[in-house]
Amino acid sequence: MVPVGACLGLSAVLFGIGLIGFLSRRNIILMLVSVEIMLNAVNVSLAGFSRQLQDQRGQVLALFVIAVAAAEAAVGLGLVLALSRNRPGVNVEDLTQLKW
């Protein structure tokens, strides 16, 4: 049986990877992937807690997070598609029409 501490450790590492990835990536798609990693970190910790506490609610929340993450990914890709129809490229640094 995996101890809860390991779950939390994994979760923290994953979250850090997602966070750093989001802050350092310029590609919108990769930023989206980083967010997904962060959400999965949340899922891992929720599952770990749920197991430790013998309580189903954490898993329920994790399921919803998975569903929402899917929805977000769909919407996000749609937005990126609309964006790239107007101008090529998925570099987030190009999004500077709105500033100051």
Query: Where on the chain is the footprint of other proteins (CB under 8 A)?
Result: 8, 11, 15, 18-20, 22-24, 26, 28, 31-32, 35, 38-39, 41-42, 45-46, 48-49, 52-53, 55, 57-58, 60-61, 64-65, 68, 71-72, 75-76, 78-80, 82-83, 85-87, 92-93, 95-100
**CA dist list (Å): 22 to 25, 33, 34, 87:** 6, 8, 5, 22
Task: Decide if 4 contacts 49 (C-beta within 8 A).
Answer: yes
To other proteins, the closest distance from the beta carbon of 46 in angstroms equals 5
- Residue 51: CA count within 13 A, CB half-sphere: 14
CB of 40 to other proteins, least distance (A): 10
